[in-house]
Amino acid sequence: MGRTGRPRTYHPDRPATNAELQRAFRQRRTAELARFRQQLATKVYHRSQRADWETPPEVFEPLDQEFHFTLDVCATAATTKCPRFFAPEDNGLAQDWGTDTCWMNPPYGRDIGRWLQKAYVSSQAGATVVALVPSRTGTSWWHAWIAGKGEVRLRQGRIKFVGALYPAGFDSVAVIYRPPW
């Protein structure tokens, strides 16, 4: 005759045997390692919590002495380099840049290609635009709107933007778009 008594019950969230505990541990470890591998494969080296970094005077002033800027197309009241500027609420992408000599330090996020397209199109309409952008020659926006369309001036050293604790983690260039005439 077999044993009688209360049947063994298992908590639904807790494995009952050592083999089940080990299997659950291996599954969690495998999932965690896969997540870490994915993070390493898609690591972003140049991430910033801000998009409104101000250009330092030592970068802006030599260019201003050469071009005499009249309009800052990507600025805030705190970061503007010119008396006339387009703030984020003005949406510089939607404005006509006319025949001004424009300074542009665009946000270095997903819209940088749109800003460079606007700079190139505005230059074809009569504006002179000088853009300070990261030197990322392998990107689609570089090949679409800089290569063969603008004059690229290389810079030595990395820029430490106003308010930043450290220099940027990338090299920068000045791209100059001039009217066709």
Per-residue pLDDT tens digits for 102-113:
999 999 888 999
CA distance linking residue 181 with residue 177, whole number of Å: 12
Neighbour tally for 139: CB within 10 Å: 13
Nearest CA among 94, 116, 109, 101 for reference residue 175: 116
> 15 and 23 in contact (C-beta within 8 Å)?
yes
Number of alpha carbons in the 13 Å side-chain half-sphere of residue 158: 11
Residue for token digits 């807790």?
14
pLDDT score, position 47: 59
pLDDT score, position 75: 95
* Mean pLDDT of the 80-94 span: 96
* Residue pLDDT, tens place only, 26-77: 999 999 999 888 877 765 555 556 767 899 999 999 999 999 999 999 999 9
pTM of the model: 0.74
Residues in the chain, total: 181
pLDDT score, position 109: 86
3-state secondary structure of 62: helix
pLDDT score, position 18: 84
* Residue pLDDT, tens place only, 127-163: 999 999 999 999 999 999 999 999 999 999 999 999 9
The angle at the Cα of 108, spanning 42 to 74, to the nearest 5 degrees, equals 165
* Mean pLDDT of the 79-86 span: 96
> 82 and 102 in contact (C-beta within 8 Å)?
no
